[in-house]
Structures are given as structure tokens and as C-alpha cells.
Structure 1
């Protein structure tokens, strides 16, 4: 399978100054090569409150939360407690604030956007941050998707005139323990960067569904919003590659590498594009450079583990899956197949544990349903059966 990597920003986690990246060269766009979008493309309504959101904001229940917990804690408690909205984490689609509220679910970027929309309406200062943690990889439709992390922090209305050094007075909104989140290095993001990340996510989601023309317009909007953002340039280049416009893909990858010369994701994407254009010596040299930077790419041990599993070497499969889980402990796919290897070896208790962890770490509703059903079956039977393999 051809390895194509795209960076998404899907996780809610909430600095230093943000630096405006240099502009991308204008020849990167190729509008005439793509059909018009099938839906409205843009982010004008990204933070817009719907009538239902305004009604909730003015409700007695919401007002009670603010009175009981204070302005900032009250907002977070109202949005994220299990007793009211009952929001669910769901990573398949990046939503606007209004869509997240209506669906009562969203990935973490969507939840950041919705939180920001309510805070803005209440006059609270907000800060967006990109958090310096290892990317989480997933794979679908021939795409390797790396999930980056962003978060939000909120100040009280009376702090609206605070200086940039007042970050300690902000309330961090996060899905990881506060003590851990506060130790992680982070870079402050401007709001237009959050907008560009949203547009880039939508482009990647269009790619997953093989809607190439729509993907182009979303990626174009992301690059137009934040011309030097490497993830957006990378996504645009992937679209060109899949569209057969390899010269444009190469040009766009190189524009991204001018900003981040050691970006392995972009380098890996560029290498087959060079080979496809007959630039074999350059492609080979680039492959050697990539191997020196990252000798074992994402899914390296997992793919070998799947081969071992198919060949019936369950002990080797378990060892390889364990190595991949050690590198990416929150990847539900890795956890599930580690559970399968335990099951094949007759280790029922360990199999249950790993599949339960797959259920706990999954960010997609359909996969949570699959894991839940398989785990329930395993608990009922308590035996190793072939029906667990999907």
C-alpha cells in the first residue's frame, strides 16, 4: 500500500507567541483542474451560535451552573458533565460549533471550537494552543492519518484585559489529567490557525471518502487561510498526487519542506512522487534520508504482526503487536489485534483486557460498537473462537 500521510488536529488538550509562517507561492493552486465543490466550503460560521445554543445559554440549567461553580468552571461543567449535554467523543468528522452542539458529539477540535464559541458569547478571553506530544497515527482508505493535539484555556470576563503573561490565571480545558497537561510544552495558536486546522481536517475527511474535488477546495481554503501551514500544504500535495498532478504535488511538497526540511511525513509523501516521475536517483537518496531519520515508520511492527497472525505464528504476532502498542498505546487497532493474538494463544484474560482497552481508546462510534460486541461475546463464551476475528 502506498504510504500517504496527512496531519489532522483532532484532540482536545489548552504559551509562547505564535509566528506567522511565510506565504505560499501563488502557483500552488490549480482551480481549473477540479470540479466545483458539491457543498459550501469555508469557515465563516465556525464559531456561530445556533438558536438552540442561545436557548441553552439562556436556560435556567445553564445559569444555575454558572452560579454554583463560577463563570469559567460553570461553563466547562455545563458543557462536559455527564448530567446535561452528555457529549460523546467521535472522530469521524470535524464539526462547527453549532453542528457539535446539535449532534452532541465531535472530535476534540470540534469540542474546542464549540467551547470557544460559548466563551466568546460570554465575553471570556480564550487561548488556543498546540500541544507538543507525539502524534497518534491511524490508517484508513490508503491514508495514514496523524492526529495532532490542540486545547483551549479560558479566562474570566473580568480578566479581558490580561497580558500574555497571565496564562496561569486561565482555566485549562483538557481530556488528560490537569497535572499532566500543564507539564506538556505548548505553542499558542492564533484563531486563524484553528480555522485553518478545521479546513484542513475537512479536506482530509473528504479524501477518506474519495471526494477528491471537494477535498481540493477544502485544502485550498486551508492554505489560503494560513499560507505557510505545513499540514495544509501536505494535504494539498496529497490531493494533487491522487489526482495525477504529480508535478504540482512535488512543487507543493517542496514548498512545505522549505518551512520544515526534516518533516518526515512530507518527505515520505514526496519520495514516491519523485519515483513516479522517473526521478529514481533522487527518490532513492530521499528514501535513504528518511530511513536515517525514522527507520521504523508507523504501522511497521503492526503490518509484520498481521503477516505472522495469518501464518499462524501467534507468539511472534503478539510480540510484534506489543512493540507497536508500546509506541502507540492509544491506537485501538493495535490493542484489538494484540487481544486477538492473546486469544489465539489461549490467554483469555489478557485478550479481554486488550480488547477492553481498544474499546476504551477508540474514537469512532462504529468501532466502539464492534469492540463492545466482540468483548461481550468473549465474556459470554470465555473461549477462543474464530468469530472474534474481523
Structure 2
């Protein structure tokens, strides 16, 4: 059974420029590079906030009170702990949880705020399940990455879901070969069942959390905090390649190019065709004067992925700047087709329609931008544009 609840961790990959998805691992190196060869603590100031995941799954007093509430107890009695938990969190609407992607929160923070990105909702659900004694399994779902951007940083999101199992007694296990499971996933049931999955360990989830915090700090120009979060992600799980990529991007931002190259290469030793890392390494090699190697890497990337994320979008933006709105509309439409849940693509397709005098289609795309937006800031922006369109307002800049 599939319950429609979002479980996609944001910011699974971080880029300096708008190209390429995470590739598959062709070769894995069993022994990770010693940490002292990858970390440079002296180059960064101490963090401005506690860095770690000791309280990631800790229930707050309010969460414990909710588990002891008559309403929740009634759900558990009538549906069992497994189904009762899902009903309480995602179907009954008692907690009024909303999706909001700007920050990755702990279980307690997500509960208190009533909002969270997908990884935050995974963590909070897992925390409740653990308290109830419901066995859980994290799964990576093999779907295409979803991309977004903040300034000149591009973020790729992978997809995980959470499986809740029945807590069987020893006697029941003897006579029941497999546990009944309940998969919580935001994908429609028909789609969710068609994708391959593989299990994740809890340390993978913890590393994702730390990497998210690093990426969020970097997007806010808090480079020192970003370093310590990325450092912990790599330390927590030396096989989590996304953490290496984020750490190397931070080094690049700080101007520590030699360290950045070392970390990118360490990542490629583990995943030789990780296109995110390859894309970030290529311009770094060029900046270091290793022109021939940079060109070889670019040529390899062109074969692996000739039309990377934001390929059509960036060309569409160039066309908009030149006033070539028909060309821009076609390019934005191509990005929307392959990334239908990216609100920015819908927004600019709507603007292109507007520039071409097609108010109806402009309204449709701006409404889709609003519906797929993941932050309060973007939602406010799209609502304002919709209001302008409805009122017949027309501005020359956006």
C-alpha cells in the first residue's frame, strides 16, 4: 500500500554551475581517504551553531504528549500502530503539516513548526515510528533528480521513501514468512510501485541531513558553518559522495582550490562517472592551469549527458534578454516537459507567454508555478504576478 506523503530529501547534490545529474557508481574504493587529507579545520572559523545530529530523531515533550493523546490512542486502537501513525500524520490533518523547503529540520523542529522539507518529514515520521516500536526501513528510490537553484548554486534532489513494518511477536514470525509493510511516498501509487529501490542505512539519512544543512548555510553565504556541516556529513558516512561534492564546493568558494581538487578526485575514485562532481571539477582544473585535462573531462561529460539540467532554461533566459520571446517560450517549454515540478520553469514560461500576448496560457503557467513552489518567498512572488495578470497590469521587467 502506498500513502501519498512527501519523502524526498532536498539538496542531495550541489553544483557551482548549472549542469549535470548525479551518475551511478562504476567502481567503489573500499577504504576511504584518511580524513586529515580532506579536512582543513584551520581554514575556517568555528561554527556559529551546534553542528551534529545527536537530537535529529529526539521527540520533544509536545510530541510525546501527542502520542499519549486520546485522539492518537483511538487511531492506534482502531487501525494499529502502523496505519494509525500514518493517519495521524498525513491523512487526518490533525497536525496540519505543510511542505516548505527552505530549511532541513530535526524531528522536533518539524513538529513544532508544522512545516518541513521532505527529509524533515522522513525524520519526523521515523522518530514517531521508533517511539511506537514500529520497524522502519529507509529506501532510495531510483528516479531522476529534481533541480533547483539559489543564485549561482544549483541543487539536485534525490528521492527516498519510508517503509513501516508490523512489529510481529516471535510466535507470529514463526508462522508468517513476511511482514505486512506500509510504504509512505509522495509519488502516486502507480508510479511508486514501478520504480526500483534499495535500502538505506540510518547513517545515510543522517549524512543527508548534515549535507542539507551545509548546502543551506552555503546558500546563505555562511561559509564557515557550511564547512563544519559538510565535514560532519563526510565523517558520518565516508561513502556518501554528495558530502564530498559539497565539501569541495565550499573549498572552492573559500579559494582553497588545491583542497577542492583533492576532494573532488577522492569522490571520483569512488564514483568515476558522477557527473555532478565531474562538472564541478572541470572548471576548477581549467582555473588551475590543467587545461588539457579539463577539456578531456568536458568531452567526456558531453557524451554522458549532452543536455544537462537547466540547459534549455539558461538558453531561454538568454533569449528573453534579447527579446526573442518565441524562442524563449520553446526553450522553457522543453525544460517544463522534462522537469514538470520546477516552479521556476513554469514561471518563466508564463512570462514568455505574457510577452507574446497569450494571457490565458500565461495565467495557467503562473498558477502551476504557484502550485509547485516550495518556499513562502516564491509563493508570494507568484501570487503577486498572478494578481497583476488578473488586474491587467503589464510590467516590462521581472
Query: What TM-score results when the alignment is normalised by the length of structure 2?
Result: 0.89
Aligned to 1:186: 197
The answer to whether residue 158 in structure 2 is matched with residue 144 in structure 1 is: no
Q: 2:274 aligns with which of 263, 287, 306?
A: 263
Q: 1:25 aligns with which of 9, 15, 34?
A: 34
Closer, same or farther: CA 274–162 of 1 in aligned 2, 3 Å? farther
Task: Give 5+ residue unaligned stretches, structure 2.
Answer: 1-14, 23-27
Task: Give 5+ residue unaligned stretches, structure 1.
Answer: 9-18
Give the whole-Å Cα distance in 1 for the aligned partners of 2:106 and 2:150.
Answer: 23
Pairwise CA distance, 1:80: 1.4
Aligned to 1:15: none
Once structures 1 and 2 are overlaid, which stretch shifts more, 134-143 or 168-177? 168-177
Pairwise CA distance, 1:118: 0.2
The answer to whether residue 206 in structure 2 is matched with residue 206 in structure 1 is: no
Aligned to 1:324: 335
Pairwise CA distance, 1:312: 2.0
1:244-323 equivalences under 5 Å are: 244-323=255-334
Give the whole-Å Cα distance in 2 for the aligned partners of 1:225 and 1:6.
Answer: 26
Once structures 1 and 2 are overlaid, which stretch shifts more, 329-338 or 74-83? 74-83
Give yes or no for contact 1:5–1:145 (8 Å, CA) kept in 2: no
1:41-190 equivalences under 5 Å are: 41-81=51-91, 83-158=93-168, 169-190=180-201
- Cα deviation code 1:55-80 (max 9, x no counterpart): 11111121122233332121011111
The SS at the match of 1:337 is helix
Once structures 1 and 2 are overlaid, which stretch shifts more, 333-342 or 73-82? 73-82
Give the whole-Å Cα distance in 1 for the aligned partners of 2:317 and 2:20.
Answer: 23
- How many residues were matched structurally? 376
Runs of 4 or more consecutive aligned structure 1 residues displaced over 4 Å after TM superposition:
4-8, 19-22, 159-163, 165-168
Closer, same or farther: CA 118–261 of 1 in aligned 2, 3 Å? same
Pairwise CA distance, 1:168: 7.0
Pairwise CA distance, 1:345: 1.5
Query: What TM-score results when the alignment is normalised by the length of structure 1?
Result: 0.91
- Cα deviation code 1:155-208 (max 9, x no counterpart): 122279979x97772101111212211221111000111101101111111110
Closer, same or farther: CA 29–98 of 1 in aligned 2, 3 Å? same
Give yes or no for contact 1:21–1:229 (8 Å, CA) kept in 2: no
Give the whole-Å Cα distance in 1 for the aligned partners of 2:306 and 2:108.
Answer: 43
Give the whole-Å Cα distance in 2 for the aligned partners of 1:369 and 1:69.
Answer: 39
The SS at the match of 1:157 is coil
